[in-house]
């Protein structure tokens, strides 16, 4: 086990495949393979049944012809879709290692999980193999349709959609991670509240006194309104703020975000 602490996002990182929660016996351990994770990390070990029976639809924002929000870091551009995608892949791997079924809706067959700080932009992303439209409404409709098609086929009693984005505000505005759920969604609010509680606990443990100001609120977003599973929408910070940028460009921080999101999901699943 290795522990790293940083000023902006407290880190609790475990080497891939090693986790502190109850693991399966050596005789029962299973492996899986997901090429989207990249050659080095494509193979993963299921080391827990913590999320066995759960099914997730993971969506990184924008992609294809739309890079999303853009920030400048050390003279180079940071594109929202690249960082949201890297964190989605890390989250997918975390969930799979805990026994969950995962659909990665937005895909790039080349990138995989990346360890760099500056993630080069590309337009290769697809919606599970289909070209992503430039038109915003068509783009959102495409991913919602795909989720709903998969939702009808999946037999799980616990199905959740997770949408990850990075906000863009004035460069001087630092933000914590914040969470949206669909208006009137009891399941969405419950998941968002538990996610927020998980993040607050992590900060309290690793940076006592810092506090956590991320919020939970309703928002009538297209993807939350038009998808069948209970959904949650996360904004991971301000891509233009120097402190928030560290939450994105440091690969350890991206891994911590993925792990904390998975921990929040697990807390919700245990109390479903």
- Quote the CA–CA distance of 61 and 140 in Å, as a whole number: 9
Structure confidence at residue 272 (pLDDT): 75
117: DSSP letter: S
Token pair 């233009």 in the structure block, residue: 240
The answer to whether position 111 is within a domain reads yes
The answer to whether position 13 is within a domain reads no
3-class state of residue 96 by DSSP: helix
Token pair 């929202």 in the structure block, residue: 80
The answer to whether position 4 is within a domain reads no
CB 231 within 8 Å of CB 224? yes
Q: Residue 84's domain spans which residues?
A: 30-270
- Quote the CA–CA distance of 123 and 209 in Å, as a whole number: 42
The answer to whether position 18 is within a domain reads no
Structure confidence at residue 206 (pLDDT): 81
Structure confidence at residue 177 (pLDDT): 97
CB 192 within 8 Å of CB 200? no
- What predicted TM-score, i.e. pTM, was given to this entire model? 0.90
Which CATH number do you get for residue 265? 3.40.630.40
SS3 per residue for 172-240: CCCCCCEEEECCCCHHHHHHHHHHHHHHHHHHHHHCCCCCCCCCEEECCCHHHHCCCCEEEEEEEEECC
The answer to whether position 209 is within a domain reads yes
Burial classification of residue 191, based on how many CB atoms lie within 10 Å of its CB (0-12 exposed, 13-18 middle, 19 or more buried): buried
The answer to whether position 25 is within a domain reads no
The answer to whether position 21 is within a domain reads no
Structure confidence at residue 207 (pLDDT): 83
Structure confidence at residue 24 (pLDDT): 54
Q: What's the structural domain count of the chain?
A: 1
The answer to whether position 166 is within a domain reads yes
Give me the residues of the chain with pLDDT under 50, please: 1-8, 10-23, 26
Structure confidence at residue 12 (pLDDT): 43
Structure confidence at residue 9 (pLDDT): 52
């Amino acid at each position: 086990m290795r522990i790293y602490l940083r000023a902006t996002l407290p880190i609790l990182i475990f080497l891939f495949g090693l986790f502190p929660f109850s693991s399966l016996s050596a005789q029962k351990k299973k492996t899986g393979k997901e090429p989207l994770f990249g050659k080095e990390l494509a193979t993963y070990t299921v080391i827990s049944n913590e999320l066995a029976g759960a099914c997730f639809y993971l969506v990184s924002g924008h992609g294809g012809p739309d890079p999303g929000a853009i920030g400048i870091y050390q003279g180079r551009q940071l594109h929202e879709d690249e960082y949201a995608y890297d964190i989605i892949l890390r989250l997918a791997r975390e969930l799979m290692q805990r026994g969950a079924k995962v659909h990665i809706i937005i895909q790039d067959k080349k990138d995989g999980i990346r360890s760099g700080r500056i993630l080069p932009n590309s337009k290769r992303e697809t919606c599970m193999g289909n070209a992503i439209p430039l038109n915003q409404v068509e783009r959102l409709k495409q991913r919602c349709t795909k989720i709903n098609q998969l939702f009808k086929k999946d037999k799980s009693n616990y199905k959740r959609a997770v949408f990850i984005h990075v906000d863009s505000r004035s460069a001087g505005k630092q933000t914590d991670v914040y969470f949206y759920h669909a208006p009137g969604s009891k399941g969405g609010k419950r998941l968002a509240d538990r996610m927020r509680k998980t993040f607050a606990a992590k900060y309290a443990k690793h940076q006592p006194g810092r506090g956590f100001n991320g919020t939970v609120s309703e928002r009538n977003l297209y993807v939350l309104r038009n998808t069948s599973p209970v959904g949650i929408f996360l904004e991971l910070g301000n891509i233009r703020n120097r402190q928030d940028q560290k939450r994105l460009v440091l690969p350890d921080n991206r891994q911590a975000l993925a792990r904390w999101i998975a921990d929040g999901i697990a807390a919700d699943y245990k109390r479903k």
